[in-house]
Structure 1
């Protein structure tokens, strides 16, 4: 059941992206069907989410510290765009020291995918508000 809830939770995000794409392409029927599917899936997530385990801050030890981290080099990409100059990591990876001679020139490409990231964040926020 938890797996089903996990899978169902990503479907509204995909439908929302499809909805946004169909709006940009001007397909009104496709937009309406995507919006209806998004609403049905959000309802399914809300119902399934009620049966999944809930956690709160009280479930963790009092000295437990929550944290998160990321690295701009791993996320941004766009190594030569918008006035960005080479970093130490750019120099290091361009010397062929990484497996497969990979670099961070593209990375996760957050620089170009920021609109999709914001859409996913907003859908996630909406789902959390519904649950």
Structure 2
């Protein structure tokens, strides 16, 4: 699991310059199904691109969260398609790790056959 550890310092300097609500955040999307899935993540006009995830592989990205940060994603596997917001301020407050001084916050998505799961750490989700 590779984390972009360079994110924390820019977020702290952004906070000092802008005096806004800012956290260093990393979001993970794990594939928990046998078939590969394609994930396409975007933030407004910023396109993080398409990624193909094999079973138990993940896509992750780090960023400086503000109250307006919104990431959304398309998921494709076999003939199934899903599209929804994978990160916003409500997601952050309800499901992600809590902020601790000088520590990065994290959210974990797991794609399973029976749905999408979100938590503050990588649980053993239903079905394994």
TM range (shorter): under 0.3
TM-score (norm 1): 0.19
Higher relative helix content: 1
Higher relative strand content: 2
Question: Which entry has the higher C-alpha Rg, 1 or 2?
Answer: 1
